[in-house]
Structure 1
Amino acid sequence: MRASPSIAPHGPDQDTYLVLDDFGRTGRAWRETDEGATDRETLILNLLSGEYKNPVRIVTFNTAEGWSRDVTVDVADEVRRRLVECGEISESILAFLVATNRG
């Protein structure tokens, strides 16, 4: 029996991160992402650079290990830690950080 190709965009030992972006009147969509840009570090750098219009949820999954989870708050916490390194942040990221604030 022939094996099906992997749906994971990279190696089986790497987690994949996707962003649900809110485009206002046109609705929400999982952002299309280059297969080499679905790792956590690239996601955080893209958030800090204003790549997303209005991120509302971030999920990660690993098909090889068979799990997925919502990591929105965890990623927001990491972005907060890195704000010191950034000059300016976009209004959308500021809104994202306010919406995910646990305190």
Structure 2
Amino acid sequence: MAVHMPNCLLTGVPYGADQTVYLVFDSFGASRSDCPEKEIERDDLETIISDLLTGQFNAPVRVMAFNTLEHWIEDVSNQVAEEIQARCDIDSVSVPEHVRNFVASHTGFAASGALM
């Protein structure tokens, strides 16, 4: 799987530590010639999900995980979007507007819950 990674990525990545780091790419509508996405680094998936649900990101587009020792990277956007949808379903609330497009684009469900 090829993943487009802007040149402005990974500025604060720890070296040598065996940890998985999560990056949220939050789009601010910058031009494609500029850094199109701003990355926000977190060190655990629960914090990412909580921050997404509480509006810490304006327009999330992707969540990537990578391990600094094992040298792997994975797009976990689908996993995060499904977890957000599941938590909203359990609480019988709508997906918050600020993450609605993110959830819809990674789960295949429209904002109304209908399969796209």
Q: CA, structure 1 residues 73+32, in 2 after alignment: closer, same or farther (shift >3 Å)? A: closer
Q: How does 1:18-97 map to 2 (within 5 A)?
A: 18-24=23-29, 26-27=30-31, 28-33=36-41, 37-83=42-88, 84-85=90-91, 89-97=95-103
More RCO (CA 8 Å, sep 6+): 1
Residue 10 of structure 2: aligned partner: none
Tell me the distance in 2 between the aligned counterparts of 1:81 and 1:30.
26
Deviation at 1:79, TM superposition (A): 1.1
Tell me the distance in 2 between the aligned counterparts of 1:86 and 1:50.
18
Tell me the distance in 2 between the aligned counterparts of 1:93 and 1:63.
28
Q: Where does the alignment leave 5 or more consecutive residues of structure 1 unmatched?
A: 1-6
- For the residue of structure 1 that corresponds to 2:103, the secondary structure is helix
Tell me the distance in 1 between the aligned counterparts of 2:100 and 2:70.
33
Q: Is the contact between residue 49 and residue 89 of structure 1 (CA under 8 Å) also seen in structure 2?
A: no
Q: Where does the alignment leave 5 or more consecutive residues of structure 2 unmatched?
A: 1-12, 109-114
Deviation at 1:50, TM superposition (A): 0.9
Structure with more of its chain in helix, by fraction:
1
Length-normalised TM-score, structure 2 = 0.66
* Identity over aligned pairs, percent: 33
Deviation at 1:30, TM superposition (A): 3.0
Among candidates 77, 99, 103, match of residue 105 of structure 2:
99
* RMSD of aligned Cα (Å): 2.5
Length-normalised TM-score, structure 1 = 0.73
